Structure 1
Amino acid sequence: MAEVAELRARNTQLGRALASRPVIDQARGMVMALAPCSSERAWDLLVDVSQRCNLKLRYVAAALVATTKGEVLPDQVQRELGRALRRLHTADRR
C-alpha cells in the first residue's frame, strides 16, 4: 500500500513538472535575451533566484513571464533577479 501511495505522489510530481516546463522555458528564453547568456546559465540564474527568494522555480518563472502581460514582478523576485544579472555580468567580465 505504501508503494502505491509513493507511486501516486511521484506521478503527481511528474505531472506538475511537465505542466510547468513550458513557462520555465519561456522564462529561460527571457533571461537569455536580457543577459545575454547560454540556456544553461539562464537556468542556473533562475534556480539561484528561486532559491534566494525561497520560491519554487515555476513561481519565479511564471512571475517573469507574466511581466509580458503587464504584471509587475514581485519586489523580492525583482531584487534577486537584478542581483543575479549583475553577478552574471561581473563573472563574464573576468
Structure 2
Amino acid sequence: MRTVPSAEDAALLAEVAELRSRSEQLGQALESRAVIDQARGMVMVLAPCSSNRAWDLLVDVSQHCNIKLRDVAAALVATTKDRRLPEPIQRELRRALRRLHMADRR
C-alpha cells in the first residue's frame, strides 16, 4: 500500500530537487570557466594582450557569431587537439584581433 507524502515531505523533495539542479549548474559553470580561462590565455599569447582585453575579445567574437562564450572558448581550446576552428569563429577572431591591433596603434 502506497502512502501519500505529507506537505512537509513534498517540500523537502522539492528542495532536494532544487539543490541537485543548482549543484549541476555550478559544476557546469566550473567546467566552462576552466575552458574560458584556457581560451583567454591562448588569446593573450596570440594578441599579445592583457587578461581583460582577451576576455573582451572573446566576448566580442561570441556576440558577433551569436555563439555562447563557452562554446567559442571550447572551439578555440580544441584547436590544440588538431581540431579546426569553425569558419564563423575563425573569421570573427581574425576581425577582433585586427581591431585590437588597430586600437593599440592609436
Length-normalised TM-score, structure 1:
0.87
AA aligned to 1:49 is V
- How many Å apart are 1:6 and its aligned residue? 7.1
1:1-94 alignment runs, 5 A limit? 11-94=23-106
Number of equivalences: 93
Which whole-Å CA distance do the structure 1 matches of 2:92 and 2:20 have between them?
Answer: 35
Length-normalised TM-score, structure 2:
0.78
- CA deviations 1:1-38 (Å, max 9, x no partner) are 7x958776655433321111111111000000000000
**Unaligned residue ranges in structure 2 (runs of 5+):** 1-10
* Identical aligned residues as a percent: 76
AA aligned to 1:20 is S
CA RMSD, 1 decimal: 1.8
**Unaligned residue ranges in structure 1 (runs of 5+):** none
